[in-house]
Structure 1
Amino acid sequence: MLTAIIPKLPMRDKAATKAFYIDQLGFSEIADYGDYLLIRKDQIEIHFFLFAALDPSQNYGQVYIRTKHITDLYQGLLDRKVPIHPNGHLETKPWGQQEFALLDPDSNLLTFGQDI
């Protein structure tokens, strides 16, 4: 029986990753194992592995995060001046989702979506 999925994303600089996810997105740290970082917000957990040689322009890491109250989440990020992906502003998609997207410091794409 499957119970959860936890994405593992690359990070070049743990301090930058923590600053983005904890300070800007409101995640909290679960554990820090040097080259491996675990964070959580609500029911979402994300793990990061150190990949110092990562070229962000070649990173295709992506996570789709389902949410509730997406307009409040989106506005809160705008209020904190978190950059939204230029092609990822909040909009209704033909597949029945309201979505927006942003990039973390390593160009991992985070897409947030809510059923409409």
Structure 2
Amino acid sequence: MLTGIHPKLPMRNRNRTIEYYMNLGFKKFGDAEYPEYLMLEKDQVQIHFFKFIDLNPKENYGQVYIRTSNIDHLYQFFLDRKVNIHPNGNLQIKTWGQREFYLLDPDNNLLTFGQSI
């Protein structure tokens, strides 16, 4: 029986990744420190990261879709923290019955946040 999923995304700089995601409200998960690996969580969502120093962000297609129960609050929370929303990803209603917005992290991983209408 499946109980969860924790995506693994590439990162070039561990400290920069921590700083970016902590600004989104994530916290470190676990007590151990691994220079090549990072686990972060917010609410019930964990995202794991592996070190990939030679990553070319323009060639990175890492993506995560994160569902939320209050997209308006989350969107405003990010705006209040001066998080850059993807230029084509402001909060909008999609034809597939979702309200969504998008962020790009420092390594060009696409984070999509969505809530069913």
Per-residue deviation, residues 18-41 of structure 1 (Å, max 9, x unmatched): 00001x101010143110000111
Letter in 1 for 2:104: L
Per-residue deviation, residues 5-30 of structure 1 (Å, max 9, x unmatched): 110000000010000001x1010101
TM-score, with length taken from structure 1: 0.97
Question: Residue 105 of structure 1 aligns to which amino acid in structure 2?
Answer: P
Distance in 2 of aligned mates of 1:75 and 1:92: 16
- Residue 68 of structure 2 is matched in structure 1 by 67
Q: Which runs of 5+ in 2 are unaligned?
A: none
Distance in structure 2 (CA, Å) of the matches to 1:46 and 1:69: 20
1:98: which partner in 2?
Answer: 99
Match of 1:17 in 2: 17
Instruction: Among all aligned residue pairs of Structure 1 and Structure 2, give the percentage whose two residues are the same amino acid.
Output: 62
Map of 2:114 onto structure 1: 113
Alpha-carbon RMSD: 0.7
Structure-2-length-normalised TM-score? 0.96
**Structure 1 unmatched ranges of 5 or more:** none
Name the structure 1 match of 2:25: 26
| Other-structure match for 1:54 | 55
